[in-house]
């Protein structure tokens, strides 16, 4: 047992705050790599299992460091991906982009090691408010509006989560982050007392988790945000938010039956929308929804093998999805284009990027000898073992769709197919800078290594007995031949129907349509009826001399001026920005103000913990 425990999130937060003071040049790049490496070494070498980082706050004892087999494997892959993502972004000169990315990863690590709901909620919100800058810093024509939508959705999810935490504490007096009870499972009956004290808090917390996991219909924020983030920001975002939510579900909601159909719907929903997508990064974002669906279904199944499968697939997914976003991000970085209808024929111009992206596509498609094969199949096998045949077969079907669109469509229509590049795009096309190639090479190597040497991944899984059992079956003759048949027939179908699958410059309408128009409705409500009522009250205050009415009107006027007007005006400004450009997008004042506010909060937190 160790006497001293250092939270890896603290390393990233302090490193992010020190970075602006590091001189530009080779020393800065060394510092950029050293900080996440230190966090990774901290996780690998100094994380003995136990409870650490206990802080007394009012009547609660907060736990910043609960270390066990489940938290360690997530912390391992997240700090490893932080190294890869930082190397990929070494060419970025703007310090604040690196700092916000590290704060974002620190938020994820804070959730991973949280032993109670207050610490979890604190870092949950750090994730949301840090990651939004990875959208805004792209400074594109849609960045401000997309960031506002992302922030509003995650603020709503955070409030739902907080409501569940408060109600659960009121009912139990306990803030420990452990497995929740599944009231619908039949353990608590249907009395009003049980409904209020068990079911409602449980499902509010679960809703807060599944919003971050992008479970439909709470999913539209993901393709909206990830497709509009910076090139390096999207690499970080694809790896952390949804997988942190998977960890939270595995920790708190394992075995909840409702998660099985939700996960299956996710797996199929993402594949269907990927069929319609013309933008490369939005297509990859929809496939995040699909792949996280496997993990959510595995958590819902809840057996030891299913949980192992969800954890293993989250581990593999972080690497191969990061690799895919790095590959398509490299195309965007070099050519300025991300739509299939504006690309094509780039295999001669960007050969290394093609190879790396193809490895990512084969990994996500669960091709034998690649990482997805040894993780995704574990969840399907757990479904069959629990006689959930409908779920297992539908997940297998979704796997074929994944290979069709990510394993085949993405590489073919970017690097082969019809050349739709403009003259300017074609001249700019080339493999990206060395640091980006190194990062993609590391991720590609790990995707192959995990698929070929299963003890590396299986040895870290939380349920070792089931991991060793499945390790003997994963490369059985039957399993390999079954997978190859599905994949090869999918490939045959792709090339037979290639003209039908050719991308078109279309826009897919998803469920975000409702809150986009709902935002416009709220703006109208705030500026018309509410403002008219405000004017009527002020008139009553000015012209009616009755003391009770004057007192009421005076209070309403004070409350309206100090509370309602401020809130409504703030939200209305955000909603208005959703529909058009904001001046703050040009000056960057809003983004930097929010960033430095977040930095101050982080400094206060660090000082408090250290004291």
Domain boundaries, the chain: 1-252, 254-510, 528-610
What is the C-alpha to C-alpha distance for residues 369 and 454, in angstroms, rounded to an integer? Answer: 10
Whether 225 shows a pLDDT value over 80: the answer reads: yes
Which has the closest alpha carbon to 464: 108, 72, 174, 85?
A: 72
Whether 553 shows a pLDDT value over 90: the answer reads: no
Per-residue pLDDT reduced to its tens digit, 55-87 = 888 888 999 999 999 999 999 999 999 999 999
What is the C-alpha to C-alpha distance for residues 395 and 401, in angstroms, rounded to an integer? Answer: 10
| Ordered DSSP codes for 412-426 | HHHHSS-----HHHH
Per-residue pLDDT reduced to its tens digit, 140-162 = 888 898 898 899 899 999 999 99
Query: Residue 165 has what pLDDT?
Result: 94
Backbone angles phi, psi at 96, to 5 degrees: -65, -25
Cα Rg of the chain (Å, integer): 25
Q: Is omega for the bond preceding 522 within 30 degrees of 0, making it cis? A: no
Q: How many residues does the chain have?
A: 611
Query: Residue 552 has what pLDDT?
Result: 52
Whether 294 shows a pLDDT value over 50: the answer reads: yes
Query: Residue 540 has what pLDDT?
Result: 58
Q: What is the largest CA-CA distance in the chain?
A: 90
Query: Residue 57 has what pLDDT?
Result: 86
Whether 332 shows a pLDDT value over 70: the answer reads: yes
Give every CB contact of residue 28 below 8 A, 6+ residues apart in sequence.
19, 22
Per-residue pLDDT reduced to its tens digit, 122-133 = 999 999 999 999
Give every CB contact of residue 259 below 8 A, 6+ residues apart in sequence.
210, 249, 253, 296, 297, 299, 300
What is the C-alpha to C-alpha distance for residues 178 and 180, in angstroms, rounded to an integer? Answer: 6
Determine the average pLDDT of the residues in 226-236: 94
Whether 448 shows a pLDDT value over 90: the answer reads: yes
Out of 73-87, 277-291, 490-504, least confident range: 490-504
For residue 465, count other CB atoms closer than 10 A to its CB. 10
Per-residue pLDDT reduced to its tens digit, 182-206 = 444 444 444 555 555 668 899 999 9
Query: Residue 546 has what pLDDT?
Result: 46
Whether 106 shows a pLDDT value over 90: the answer reads: yes
Q: Rounded mean pLDDT of the chain?
A: 85
Query: Residue 371 has what pLDDT?
Result: 94
Structure tokens that stand for 391 in this block: 């779920």
Structure tokens that stand for 282 in this block: 């939005």
Determine the average pLDDT of the residues in 589-600: 49
- Strands 50-57 and 60-67: what pairing? antiparallel
Which has the closest alpha carbon to 365: 251, 296, 257, 274?
A: 274
Name the burial class of residue 184, with classes exposed (0-12), middle (13-18) and buried (19+) by CB atoms within 10 angstroms of its CB: middle
Determine the average pLDDT of the residues in 90-117: 95
Per-residue pLDDT reduced to its tens digit, 303-330 = 999 999 999 999 999 999 999 999 999 9
Who wins on pLDDT, 99 or 603?
99
Query: Residue 573 has what pLDDT?
Result: 53
Percentage of the residues of the chain whose pLDDT score is greater than 90:
62
Query: Residue 136 has what pLDDT?
Result: 94
3-state helix, strand, coil in the chain (%, to 5): 75, 5, 25
Query: Residue 1 has what pLDDT?
Result: 41
Whether 15 shows a pLDDT value over 50: the answer reads: yes
Per-residue pLDDT reduced to its tens digit, 337-386 = 999 999 988 998 999 999 999 999 999 999 999 999 999 999 999 999 99
| In 255-404, alpha helices (H) | 259-276, 280-301, 304-335, 351-364, 371-385, 389-402
Distances (CA, A) of 413 to 382, 406, 500: 35, 11, 13
């Amino acid at each position: 047992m160790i006497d001293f425990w250092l939270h890896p999130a603290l390393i990233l937060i302090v490193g992010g705050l020190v970075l602006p003071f590091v001189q530009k040049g080779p020393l800065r790049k060394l510092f950029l790599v050293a900080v996440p490496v230190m966090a990774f070494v901290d996780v690998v070498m100094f994380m003995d299992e136990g409870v650490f980082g206990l802080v007394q706050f009012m009547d609660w004892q907060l736990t910043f460091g609960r270390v066990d087999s489940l938290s360690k494997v997530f912390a391992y892959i997240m700090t490893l991906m932080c190294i890869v993502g930082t190397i990929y972004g070494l060419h970025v000169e703007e310090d604040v982009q690196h700092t916000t990315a590290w704060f974002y990863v620190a938020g994820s690590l804070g959730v991973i090691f949280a032993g109670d709901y207050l610490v979890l909620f604190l870092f949950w919100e750090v994730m949301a408010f840090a990651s939004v800058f990875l959208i805004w810093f792209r400074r594109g024509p849609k960045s401000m509006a997309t960031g506002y939508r992302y922030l509003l959705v995650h603020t709503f999810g955070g409030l739902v989560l907080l409501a569940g935490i408060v109600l659960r504490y009121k009912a139990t007096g306990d803030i420990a982050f452990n497995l929740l009870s599944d009231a619908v499972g039949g353990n608590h009956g249907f009395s009003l007392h049980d409904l209020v004290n068990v079911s409602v808090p449980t499902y509010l917390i679960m809703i807060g988790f599944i919003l971050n996991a992008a479970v439909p219909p709470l999913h539209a924020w993901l393709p909206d945000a990830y497709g509009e983030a910076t090139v390096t920001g999207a690499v970080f975002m694809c790896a952390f938010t949804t997988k942190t939510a998977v960890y939270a579900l595995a920790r708190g909601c394992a075995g909840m039956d409702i998660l099985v159909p939700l996960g299956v719907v996710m797996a199929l929903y993402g594949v269907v929308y990927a069929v319609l997508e013309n933008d490369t990064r939005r297509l990859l974002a929809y496939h995040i929804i699909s792949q996280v669906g496997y993990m959510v279904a595995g958590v819902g199944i809840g057996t030891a093998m299913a949980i192992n499968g969800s954890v293993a697939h989250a581990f593999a997914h972080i690497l191969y999805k990061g690799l895919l976003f790095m590959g398509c991000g490299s195309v965007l970085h070099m050519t300025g284009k991300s739509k299939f209808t504006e690309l094509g024929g780039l295999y001669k111009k960007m050969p290394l990027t093609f190879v790396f992206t193809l490895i990512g596509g084969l990994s996500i498609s669960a091709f034998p000898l690649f990482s997805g094969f040894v993780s995704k199949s574990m969840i399907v096998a757990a479904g069959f073992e629990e006689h959930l045949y409908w779920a297992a077969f539908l997940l297998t079907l979704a796997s074929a769709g994944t290979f069709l669109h990510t394993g085949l469509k993405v590489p073919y229509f970017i690097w082969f197919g019809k050349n739709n590049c403009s003259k300017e795009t074609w001249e700019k096309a080339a493999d990206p800078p060395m640091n980006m190639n190194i990062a993609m090479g590391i991720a590609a190597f790990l995707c192959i290594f995990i698929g070929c040497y299963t003890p590396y991944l299986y040895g870290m899984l939380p349920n070792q007995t089931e991991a060793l059992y499945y390790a003997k079956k994963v490369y059985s003759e039957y399993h390999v031949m079954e997978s190859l048949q599905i994949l090869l027939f999918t490939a045959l179908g792709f090339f037979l129907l290639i003209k039908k699958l050719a991308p078109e410059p279309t826009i897919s309408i998803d469920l975000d349509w409702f809150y986009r128009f709902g935002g416009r409705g709220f703006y109208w409500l705030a500026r018309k009826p509410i403002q008219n009522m405000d004017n009527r009250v002020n008139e009553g205050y000015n012209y009616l001399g009755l003391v009770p009415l004057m007192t009421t009107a005076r209070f309403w006027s004070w409350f309206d001026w100090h509370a309602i007007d401020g809130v409504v005006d703030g939200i209305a400004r955000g909603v208005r920005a959703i529909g058009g450009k904001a001046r703050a997008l040009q000056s960057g004042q809003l983004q930097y103000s929010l960033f430095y506010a977040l930095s101050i909060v982080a400094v206060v937190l660090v000082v408090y913990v250290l004291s």
